[in-house]
Amino acid sequence: MTSNSLDIEFEEAVERINSYGEPFPADLLLRLYAYYKKATNDYSTPRGKKPMINAFKTNALFQVSSVSPDEAKRIYIDLVNNYFLYGK
Protein backbone atom coordinates (compact mmCIF):
# COMPACT_ATOMS: atom_id res chain seq x y z
CA MET A 1 0.00 0.00 0.00
CA THR A 2 1.45 3.35 -0.97
CA SER A 3 1.65 6.17 1.52
CA ASN A 4 -0.96 8.15 -0.41
CA SER A 5 -3.46 5.28 -0.47
CA LEU A 6 -2.82 4.64 3.23
CA ASP A 7 -3.57 8.30 3.99
CA ILE A 8 -6.79 8.14 1.96
CA GLU A 9 -7.93 4.94 3.64
CA PHE A 10 -7.06 6.41 7.06
CA GLU A 11 -9.08 9.57 6.38
CA GLU A 12 -12.02 7.46 5.22
CA ALA A 13 -11.85 5.44 8.46
CA VAL A 14 -11.74 8.65 10.51
CA GLU A 15 -14.77 10.00 8.63
CA ARG A 16 -16.62 6.72 9.16
CA ILE A 17 -16.08 6.96 12.91
CA ASN A 18 -16.92 10.67 13.10
CA SER A 19 -20.15 10.28 11.13
CA TYR A 20 -21.47 7.29 13.09
CA GLY A 21 -24.32 8.29 15.39
CA GLU A 22 -24.25 5.50 17.96
CA PRO A 23 -21.96 5.37 21.02
CA PHE A 24 -18.80 3.29 20.88
CA PRO A 25 -17.39 1.07 23.64
CA ALA A 26 -14.98 2.97 25.90
CA ASP A 27 -12.07 0.60 25.23
CA LEU A 28 -12.46 1.07 21.47
CA LEU A 29 -12.57 4.85 21.88
CA LEU A 30 -9.32 4.82 23.85
CA ARG A 31 -7.56 2.71 21.23
CA LEU A 32 -8.89 4.87 18.40
CA TYR A 33 -7.80 7.98 20.29
CA ALA A 34 -4.26 6.72 20.84
CA TYR A 35 -3.73 5.46 17.29
CA TYR A 36 -5.25 8.62 15.79
CA LYS A 37 -2.95 10.84 17.84
CA LYS A 38 0.07 8.72 16.89
CA ALA A 39 -0.93 8.58 13.21
CA THR A 40 -1.30 12.36 13.04
CA ASN A 41 1.82 13.07 15.11
CA ASP A 42 -0.28 14.99 17.64
CA TYR A 43 1.71 14.87 20.85
CA SER A 44 -0.40 17.32 22.84
CA THR A 45 -1.39 16.13 26.29
CA PRO A 46 -4.99 15.12 26.89
CA ARG A 47 -7.16 17.95 28.14
CA GLY A 48 -10.55 17.46 29.63
CA LYS A 49 -12.69 18.09 32.64
CA LYS A 50 -12.25 14.62 34.13
CA PRO A 51 -8.75 13.75 35.41
CA MET A 52 -9.49 10.01 35.35
CA ILE A 53 -10.30 10.09 31.62
CA ASN A 54 -7.16 12.11 30.97
CA ALA A 55 -5.17 9.44 32.83
CA PHE A 56 -6.66 6.69 30.66
CA LYS A 57 -5.87 8.69 27.53
CA THR A 58 -2.29 9.30 28.67
CA ASN A 59 -1.87 5.60 29.36
CA ALA A 60 -3.26 4.71 25.93
CA LEU A 61 -0.80 7.11 24.30
CA PHE A 62 2.07 5.60 26.28
CA GLN A 63 1.10 2.11 25.08
CA VAL A 64 1.44 3.11 21.40
CA SER A 65 4.65 5.11 21.83
CA SER A 66 6.76 2.57 19.92
CA VAL A 67 4.38 2.39 16.93
CA SER A 68 5.25 4.32 13.78
CA PRO A 69 2.70 6.78 12.35
CA ASP A 70 2.08 4.58 9.30
CA GLU A 71 1.58 1.51 11.47
CA ALA A 72 -0.79 3.53 13.67
CA LYS A 73 -2.82 4.38 10.57
CA ARG A 74 -3.00 0.71 9.58
CA ILE A 75 -4.08 -0.34 13.06
CA TYR A 76 -6.68 2.45 13.22
CA ILE A 77 -8.12 1.32 9.88
CA ASP A 78 -8.22 -2.29 11.09
CA LEU A 79 -9.95 -1.28 14.33
CA VAL A 80 -12.62 0.62 12.41
CA ASN A 81 -13.14 -2.14 9.85
CA ASN A 82 -13.34 -4.83 12.52
CA TYR A 83 -15.78 -2.82 14.62
CA PHE A 84 -18.17 -2.27 11.74
CA LEU A 85 -17.80 -5.87 10.59
CA TYR A 86 -18.08 -7.62 13.98
CA GLY A 87 -18.72 -5.04 16.70
CA LYS A 88 -22.37 -4.23 16.21
pLDDT band of residue 73 (cuts 50, 70, 90) is: very high
Mean pLDDT value across the chain: 93
Q: What percent of the chain has pLDDT over 90?
A: 80
pLDDT value of position 43:
81
Measured CA to CA, the distance from residue 73 to residue 14 in angstroms comes to 10
CATH code that applies to domain 3-87: 1.20.80.10
pLDDT value of position 47: 84
Is 33:76 a contact under the CB 8 Å cutoff? no
Question: CA-CA-CA-CA torsion for 76, 70, 15, 46, nearest 10 degrees?
Answer: 70
Query: What's the predicted TM-score (pTM) here?
Result: 0.90
The domain spans of the chain are: 3-87
d(CA 25, CA 12): 20
Q: Are the beta carbons of 30 and 56 closer than 8 angstroms?
A: yes
